[in-house]
Structure 1
Amino acid sequence: MNKLYLWGIIITAAMLGATYATVGYQKGGLNGDIVNMLAIAGAVALVIITIFVVIKYVRQMQVDHASGELADESWDNIGEYKNPVPFGWAIMFLGTMIWGMWYFTIGYPVNAFSQIGQYNEEVKEKDAEFEKKYANIKGEQLVNMGESVYLVECVACHGLNADGNNEIDAADLNQRISEKSIKYVINHGSNNKLLGTEMPMPDRNGLFNAETGALITDKEIDEVAKYVAGGLKDTNSAGANVFANVCAACHGPDGKGMAYVAPDIATWNKQLVINVLDNGKQGAIGKMPAMDRLNPKQKEAIAAYVMSLSKGE
């Protein structure tokens, strides 16, 4: 027997055996279900037809010889025969084109029903119901809702204690900003839409000390990072002096930001948290994705919960 046919039989037997073994290990097997039996019959037919077609064309390549009239053109002495397109191939090609046009216009037009479309519509309806039901929730109830959403959506990265697993996986939400994050933003700049719009902060090459007239130095970066991460409390420190001469022009003397200019870096606020959830954030630890699947009320609730952390509630 030709080795090619022998290998075809072996591979067919192996694939059919694997199919049988897979089905056999399922609870109840085919369970007399006509759909299951049709699926297995289709799988068997597909295996046999595939192996048969492969053997046919491999065998044809082994024994057939090209013939016919060569075209006048050649490329590197490689000619092309003027053989017509196989009739069966031409029919299948034209049939596929006709079927495709029918499928997208009549059989299953692009504006027809789809499970994804139905899912999106149902999500919109549920979000509307959710918004209506919880529209007036506030105070401790809003914080409790935020904690529940946090435990579902945020805890994987930020951890149960909201410390980002010691800032290994994500930011520590118990404080507004850490020294590591401050240094990263100063060195690399920022364009995280923390104000909801494109308001980029320059990197260190665009930050000048108003007192010295020189670019901010590594020492000054260390000092101001320590001051800001400490909550802008030690007003007599070297970091406070650097902040006043480098950062206060945009972030304000108290670090609480200026509308359309710079975000609050002293405390969390509702809109700041919502902007991060809306747009994501690139920082020293990595990139946080935008939380598009959350509805506005859920984002507001998370903001309330995050704000409560820094207050020790």
Structure 2
Amino acid sequence: MSDKHVDEVSGVETTGHVWDGIRELNNPLPRWWLWTFYATIVWAIGYVVLYPAIPLVSGNTKGMLGYSSRGDVAQELSAAKAAQGVLVEQIAQTPISEIEANPELLQFAIAGGSAAFKVNCVQCHGSGAQGFEGYPNLNDDDWLWGGSIDEIYTTITHGIRNGQDDDARFSEMPAFGDMLEPGQIREVAAYVASLSGTPSDEALVEPGKVVFEENCVACHGDNAQGDKEFGAPNLADAIWLYNGTEAGIASQARNPKHGVMPAWGSRLGDATVKQLAVFVHSLGGGQ
């Protein structure tokens, strides 16, 4: 006669283990589950033997097959770089003005330029190239130094007021706070504000126009629409690199800010700069 204890409620034998008067039912795992579990153990042992698996101090076990997924990735990257190298070389050999005429080069240059922009340019111009105060928006059609693809290429290559490249774009607005009376600064700020908005005091506009004609037209032009040769901004289009309020205009006239851009040609190489120029030009604001 069996001396196994049987649970009265479920009719299942117990294991004989008792905790605080509670008995453990003897419910074995299903055989299919056990065989599956044993199979995974065998699979794991085989995997460890055949493939890289166990970390060591300075590496890992290599496995009998000598397989390496990292090696596969390295080969794929090498093949991709080799394929890209042909197009990169073509871009390097092709004048910037002719790249857009070649659909294959254009597509590759835009993709490469987008990647280079995300690594090198978003810090100042933003992830969408929308710019910030003091950093130009590259999506609009307002360009300080010209928006043709050749002019964009030149600006990226040599930079602006960086003191590193002899061919860097360079111009500086005088500090008119040292040359004009405070009243004249207010007048010229009112006039400039009137070109694209409403000044705080209409009575200051006409005197401000006189001050502008005597001091500002040499760079900004008679119509205040700027001069790309000097990097002088258009003051009549309501697009502002710095604060566009009347107070901000007065502050810029009194003690102007001057932005600096690195010379990317020496840092990135000509092929990458060309791709950047093509990408920026493709954003929609290029001339």
TM-score range, shorter chain: 0.3 to 0.5
- Higher relative contact order, structure no. (Cα contacts within 8 Å, ≥ 6 residues apart): 2
* Structure of higher CA gyration radius: 2
TM-score, normalization by structure 2? 0.36
* TM-score after normalising by structure 1: 0.34
Structure with the bigger percentage of helix:
1
